[in-house]
A and B are shown apart, each in its own frame.
Chain A
Amino acid sequence: DVKVTQSSRYLVKRTGEKVFLECVQDMDHENMFWYRQDPGLGLRLIYFSYDVKMKEKGDIPEGYSVSREKKERFSLILESASTNQTSMYLCASFGWNTGELFFGEGSRLTVL
């Protein structure tokens, strides 16, 4: 079974802090994604990556950056966290064989 693992289930940070959210997948997938999920807004794409060192902006990239140094790892970075970045962050990996997205368990970030 594909496993997508996110480093932290729950984080509490202060405004202005730098935040790293890490995601690792074990199926050698090329495509990986970061979404945020907020009530009433559904899943919104922040960034995605098709390959190592490649990244593409999604719908809401402002305030975020990403890093893909290794194929299995896709990191989301908040350079200076703000309260409006309090959200659930979901990482996903895409399997071409089945055409489906595999999601991690999610990281719930609270910025005070």
Chain B
Amino acid sequence: GQQVMQIPQYQHVQEGEDFTTYCNSSTTLSNIQWYKQRPGGHPVFLIQLVKSGEVKKQKRLTFQFGEAKKNSSLHITATQTTDVGTYFCAGEGSQGNLIFGKGTKLSVKP
């Protein structure tokens, strides 16, 4: 079946360092979404990418969608302790449902 692979599973960084998480799909995606889940919280929508090669920015967060629409990345510049949490990518499956990656858990050491 369709799968969305996400790496790394965990990332520990010093505050101020950059962070990147990557998503790869076994099939072409019509769109990809990113969610953030704070510790003890629920996933919250960050952004959706639709176009091939699309790049979107939200302050220190940069999201990219690959040219083949099979991969995506989220990059955080100069991490802060408020960035702590698990970041999930999700691609739309053939049934219209979202298939989630397993998430990357980010910890930031002050």
**Are A100 and B101 CB-contacts (below 8 A) given A43-B43, A90-B42, A106-B42?**
no
**CA–CA, A28 and B101, complex, Å:** 28
B97 touches A45 (CB 8 A): yes
**CA–CA, A19 and B48, complex, Å:** 35
Write the A50-61 contact mask toward B (1 if CB under 8 angstroms, else 0). 000000101100
**CA–CA, A67 and B34, complex, Å:** 28
**CA–CA, A102 and B8, complex, Å:** 25
A interface, size bucket:
20 to 34
Contacts of A43 in B (CB 8 A): 43, 88, 100, 103
Contacts of B9 in A (CB 8 A): 40
Give the number of A-B contacts (CB < 8 Å): 50
**CA–CA, A59 and B97, complex, Å:** 11
B100 touches A100 (CB 8 A): no
| Smallest beta-carbon distance A50→chain B, Å | 8
Contact of B102 among A40, A45, A56 (CB under 8 A): A40
A12 in the interface (beta carbon within 8 A):
no
Which of chain A's residues 37-69 have a Cβ closer than 8 Å to chain B? Answer: 40-45, 48, 56, 58-59
**Are A99 and B102 CB-contacts (below 8 A) given A33-B97, A45-B97, A104-B42?**
no
Which of chain B's residues 1-34 have a Cβ closer than 8 Å to chain A? Answer: 1, 6, 9, 31, 33
| Smallest beta-carbon distance B11→chain A, Å | 15
Between-chain CB contacts (< 8 Å), 14 pairs? A33-B97, A40-B102, A41-B102, A42-B100, A56-B95, A99-B33, A99-B48, A100-B45, A101-B35, A101-B43, A101-B45, A101-B90, A102-B45, A104-B42
Interface residues of B (CB under 8 A from A): 1, 6, 9, 31, 33, 35, 41-45, 48, 88, 90, 95, 97-103
